[in-house]
Structure formats: structure tokens, C-alpha cells
Structure 1
Amino acid sequence: MSSDLVGFRFYPTDEELISYFLDNKNNVHTTAQVPSMATFNYNNIMPEVDLYGDVEPWQIWETYGGSELYDQDMLFFTQHKMVNPDGLRIQRKVGSGGTWSEGEPGKLIFDSKLMQKPIGQKRKFRYEKKGSEHNGCWYLEEYSLLSMNSASYVLCRLRQNIRKGRKRKEISLRQESPMNYAPVGFRFHPTDQQLISYFLHKKVTEEASLYSYKNIVCEFDLFGSTEPWEIWNMYGGHELRNQDLFFFTKLKRASLKSSRILRKIGSSGTWSETDASKLIKDEAKQKHIGRRRKLRYESKCSKQHGHWYLDEYSLLDSESDYVICRLRKNDKSSPPSSEWNGNKRTYSALCQESKETLSSVTNKKLLRKQSNETMNVNNKKNNTLSDQTIAQTKRMQPGTKIKLFGVEIDSDLKYV
């Protein structure tokens, strides 16, 4: 009997899209290590559609259920259309008068294990049609293999420029047996509502039903003596890509009867609240079911100060001290090491080189600008001096000797 794997959504990485899905579609030998259970039917998730034909992007979106998705994009296999059958130029027209226009240069996608080996390319396009209400409202990310021909497939991610606050439903993943790992591209990305109404509620009322998730949502003391980065490494956070870690933990009160919660961690750290808490609503029942608090790790004497975040979810009207927490790393404070493992030139070194190059170019431009300004000032001075000297010469008596630019001349000379 099948069961829904709650919280799993299709979030493939760029590398997976090329090394697994696109390679297999084009019958290219793939080097990706795919789990044996990954015989999942992706036809409904990545259908084959003509994205450069007569159908408008929003019509494709509606036809394939894009309006019902939650925080997800749509993926399609498609083939290029050449302007000339014998040429190399690709036609990117769509619908009645629309065009997919490239917004920035293409980006090479590398094998994460062999960073020096590019496996494909990613290009970004935007729908443009002047006068249309959909102008600029649709984006297309096109993934292609490095060695292609006119018959080769490309894999495209179609997404809508969604205004803040719009909500959609997630793709449901169903599996026949208790889950050890999900098919390629699926990751544990539960919504706030799922974390409270399903996981936390079942933890408090019927814990045995969460057996399938025992290795995904573990129980650990997040307000104890263990540092956040130690917890992160203990549970494999350093090996994750585009994912966070989830834990059940119990709140610690200042005393048995106190409502004040102690949120100390490690030897000197504290989980400090960054924003006002937010009520989480059950959309189906139209009522509030829990609360989310956003916390940040703070320890001024530690190099990890501000490098870790904790989202704490709690039930409303519950006497249980259990909460479910999302532990995540502040990516802005440190480079994504998983993308650069094995590369001799580290991420920080590349960033430093980039900064030095940019600084050098900027300095050269400033020097050139200063030099041009100095020359202009000198030219103005010389021109002013020349005009003044000529004017004085015109007022002098005949036979008077003057010096012009270091040369002695007669004032009898005529100036035109």
C-alpha cells in the first residue's frame, strides 16, 4: 500500500539535471551515481514539450498544472529550432510574437567531484513581447550538454515571476515502502504547515507513525552543550546541497513553573530572536495551528558569531515542550564548500583573485581618468596663457621684445 512522503519536493541541482536527466534523455553515458531505487517515473514531472513553438508560456504553464504547484518550477525536455537548417543560429521565438531573450552570459556546470571537468551549460532567458501584459513575467533556464547536435534535447526550467505572498501546492511523492532515500532530484523541503500539522503534531500524539523519517528528522538537544557546527557535522550537514537539517528538541524553561525559555547553546552561545514570531495557518481549515520563531546564533567571542540560523516551530494550545527546528548555515558568511571540494583553487582564492582583478581594472580606470583630467587642466592653462600673451602683444608699442613660450619675438608680428 502506497503512502505519501510528506515534505519531499522535486529540487534537483544543476549537476543532476545535466549529468543524470539530460545525459539519459540523450542516451549519453552518465557518470552520476544513482541509487538503485531511483527507477522513479519522471514522465509527469519532466514531459517533452515544444517551448519554441506557437504555444504561449502561460498556456504551457496552465496546461501542465503550474498554477497548482507550491514554490516550485516546471521542467521540460525540448529541442532547438534552427533559423537555417544548415546553420548554427537557434530560433528562440515563442507564441505569437514573443521571444526568449538572453539576459546574461551562459554559465558552465561542473562535476562536483571533478571540478575541472565541465559537463554542460546553463543559460538564462526572459520572455519579451512589448505591449503584452506578460512581458518580463516568464523566465526560462536552459540546460544543455557541451557536445550537441540539432537533434539533441535540452532541459528547460520554466518559472513565473511570482509576486510575494502567492501560494501553490507541492508535487506529491509517493513510495511503496518505508523510505531509505528518495529518487534523484527529490529533497526534503517541507512547508511550515507540514512541519507543524504533520511532523510536530504526530511527534506529540503518535510518534510511531514517524518511523519512516527517523533518519531525516532526528531528536537532539539544540539548547545543550554541543555547538551548532558540531551538530551540523555530526548529522552530515556538510554533505548536503540545497538542504537544511531538521530536529525534534525540547524547550528548556528557567524553572518548572516559569514561562521563560532558556536558549543557550554550546560553551558561550545563545539563540537570539531576530524577528517577531509568525503564526502559521492551516490553509485547508483556515485556522492558526502553530508559531515560527527565527533565531540566530550569537557569541561575540566566537568566529562562528552570526553564522548559524535556527527556525523554531511550536504548536499552539499545547502543553508539550517539544518543538521542531530547522538548522541552517548562513551561506553569506562562508562560501558553499560542497561546490568546491577537490578543486585546488579554493573558493576563497577565486574570490580573492576576482577582487584583485576588479581592483586592478578599477585603479587603471581611475589613473586614466586622472591623467585625462590633468591634461585638460594643463591645456586650458596653456590656452589661457597664450590668449593673454597675444592680447598683451597687441597693446604693445612696435619694436618691443617679448617672450612667448620661452622664445623671444618682436611685438610687430601680425596675429590673425
Structure 2
Amino acid sequence: MERKTGMLKLPPGFRFHPTDEELVVQYLKRKVFSCPLPSSVIRDINLAKFDPWDLSGGCEEERYFFNLKEAKYPTGSRSNRAAGSGYWKATGKEKPIKSSSFGQVVGMKQVFVFFRGKPATGAKTDWVMHEYRLAGAESPACVFPQRKNSTHSCTVPNGDWVLCRIFKKKRATDVDADTAGDETIPCNMIQFIDLMGETDRDGSHQPSTCLSDSSCLTESSDGSSGGEESDSRRSPLA
């Protein structure tokens, strides 16, 4: 186990890349109902205390966290979206996450973008968060079957937990910069120098007839021809 983050350290070459359904059913649902998780890959944080770039993990990697939602006002239902030096702003509408086996909605997904500063005057950043929550009470995601001889109580939800996937969006200019060194030279820009050419009396360069004359094949040191077929005439350059 890694002491700094408390997260499972995966072997080199392995990546934690679950689907939306797996995040909701295998991780978030188990977290909400206080059941054992498949692994200790996702840890708990208080998202309101951090800027996204200060979270554990590399900036080029996707990071996953459990966050216990807090109400913005004591008597309201709106969540507190303040975090670090800015706030998370929702973009678009929530999207349902359906079970691939039964087609039923098991969770909801909302996309957020991080802004530095205060609301209405904040500066947009490249940091993005996908927030996952369980579906409503009518969804099978809110019912966790109790196994026989189980020592864990998996029948009562334990807090308003959400699962967050946070990453830094790569700008188009960065992508262009990465591929700039891979540009190929157009064929019409490539010039070939004929080292076998001859110079005419007027100083112009004449291509060698070896480009079209098969008699210019040279012999190798063992006396055989360098080509697939030998020619009866010996090259004048041999």
C-alpha cells in the first residue's frame, strides 16, 4: 500500500480504467451501503479543500475519489461546489447510466469544469470532473441484497456519497504541438542527387544512363552480379 495517498499501487503497465457502470455498481454502490470494495483504488477526500492540481496523482492521469456531498445552505438541497481557490461549475444535464444486463438506470453522471476565483467572475480552467451518484430510491441500485452469513450490514445507505473522476483536458494546441515533429516532407519537396550523373559541355547536369540501362549492374567481389540477373556486358565503372 502507498502511504502517501492510501491508494492501491498498481504494477507498471496496469491502468485503472473502469466503465461508468462499473464505477456506479461495483464501487459507489458498495461505498454507499458500507460494503467491501473490490480494491482500495479509490480513497475518500473532502473535495472542497483542494484545487484539482493539488490532488494526489499525476496531472496527466485520471484520478478517482469518493466525496461526501455537503449542502450549500443548512435548509437547502443545493450542494456546495466551492473547492480550493475556485469552484466546480456544472455543464449540460445529468446523463443516466444504465445496467448493461437489465437496461435499468443505476446511476447518474454530471460533468463539471473548474473555475478559479469567485462565481460570475471566475476564470475557466482545463480541469474536468465527472461526478457519479446513485439513481433514485426506485432504482435497483438503491437496494443492496443481504448475503447469508454476512457480517456486513449492506441494507442502509451511509451518507450522500458521490464518486468523482477528475482529469485535465488536453488543449487542441497541445495536440498540434505534439504532432508537429511527425510531419512528413511532401514528395514534391524532396530532391534526389544523382552521384552517377555527368556534366555536359554547357555545364548542365545530365542524369546517368544507369537509371534505365540494366547494363550498369556491378559485379560483387565473388564475381557474381549484385542484381537478381547478371548481364553479359561488364559495367564500365566496375
Smaller-chain TM-score range? 0.5 to 0.7
Question: For residues 350 and 186 of structure 1, do their structure 2 counterparts lie closer, same or farther at Cα, with a shift above 3 Å needed?
Answer: closer
Residue segments in structure 2 that go unaligned for 5+ positions in a row: 1-7, 138-156, 183-238
Which letter does structure 2 place at the counterpart of 1:332?
Answer: R
Match of 2:165? Answer: 326
Which letter does structure 2 place at the counterpart of 1:323?
Answer: V
Match of 1:276? Answer: 93
Which letter does structure 2 place at the counterpart of 1:298?
Answer: F
Match of 2:113? Answer: 296
**1:292-327, CA deviations, whole angstroms, 9 ceiling, x for partnerless residues?**
000001126899732100000001136631000000
**Aligned residues: percent identity?**
27
Higher relative contact order (CA 8 A, sep 6+): 2
TM-score (norm 2): 0.55
Q: Supply the distance in 1 between the matched residues of 2:22 and 2:31 (Cα, whole angstroms).
A: 13
Q: Supply the distance in 1 between the matched residues of 2:62 and 2:73 (Cα, whole angstroms).
A: 31
Is the Cα–Cα contact under 8 Å of residues 87 and 117 in structure 2 kept in the other structure?
Answer: no
Note if 1:202 corresponds to 2:30. Answer: yes
In structure 2, which of residues 41, 53, 57 is the aligned counterpart of residue 236 of structure 1? 57
How many pairs align?
Answer: 156
Residue segments in structure 1 that go unaligned for 5+ positions in a row: 1-178, 337-346, 355-416
Q: Supply the distance in 2 between the matched residues of 1:309 and 1:278 (Cα, whole angstroms).
A: 16
Is the Cα–Cα contact under 8 Å of residues 307 and 333 in structure 1 kept in the other structure?
Answer: no
Q: Supply the distance in 2 between the matched residues of 1:285 and 1:349 (Cα, whole angstroms).
A: 43
**1:19-41, CA deviations, whole angstroms, 9 ceiling, x for partnerless residues?**
xxxxxxxxxxxxxxxxxxxxxxx
Match of 2:66? Answer: 248
Q: Supply the distance in 2 between the matched residues of 1:271 and 1:229 (Cα, whole angstroms).
A: 13
Is the Cα–Cα contact under 8 Å of residues 127 and 169 in structure 2 kept in the other structure?
Answer: yes
Which letter does structure 2 place at the counterpart of 1:218?
Answer: R
In structure 1, which of residues 185, 197, 219 is the aligned counterpart of residue 44 of structure 2? 219
Note if 1:313 corresponds to 2:132. Answer: yes
Question: For residues 237 and 180 of structure 1, do their structure 2 counterparts lie closer, same or farther at Cα, with a shift above 3 Å needed?
Answer: closer
Question: For residues 247 and 348 of structure 1, do their structure 2 counterparts lie closer, same or farther at Cα, with a shift above 3 Å needed?
Answer: same
Give how far 1:260 is off. 1.0
Q: Supply the distance in 2 between the matched residues of 1:322 and 1:225 (Cα, whole angstroms).
A: 16
Question: For residues 266 and 317 of structure 1, do their structure 2 counterparts lie closer, same or farther at Cα, with a shift above 3 Å needed?
Answer: same
Question: For residues 248 and 349 of structure 1, do their structure 2 counterparts lie closer, same or farther at Cα, with a shift above 3 Å needed?
Answer: closer
Question: For residues 334 and 204 of structure 1, do their structure 2 counterparts lie closer, same or farther at Cα, with a shift above 3 Å needed?
Answer: farther
Match of 2:146? Answer: none
Question: For residues 304 and 213 of structure 1, do their structure 2 counterparts lie closer, same or farther at Cα, with a shift above 3 Å needed?
Answer: farther
**Which structure features the higher share of helix residues?**
1
Deviating above 6 A after TM superposition, structure 1's stretches of 4 or more consecutive aligned residues are 301-304, 347-351
Q: Supply the distance in 2 between the matched residues of 1:220 and 1:324 (Cα, whole angstroms).
A: 10
Question: For residues 321 and 196 of structure 1, do their structure 2 counterparts lie closer, same or farther at Cα, with a shift above 3 Å needed?
Answer: same
Match of 1:262? Answer: 80
Q: What is the RMSD computed on CA atoms of the aligned residues? A: 3.5
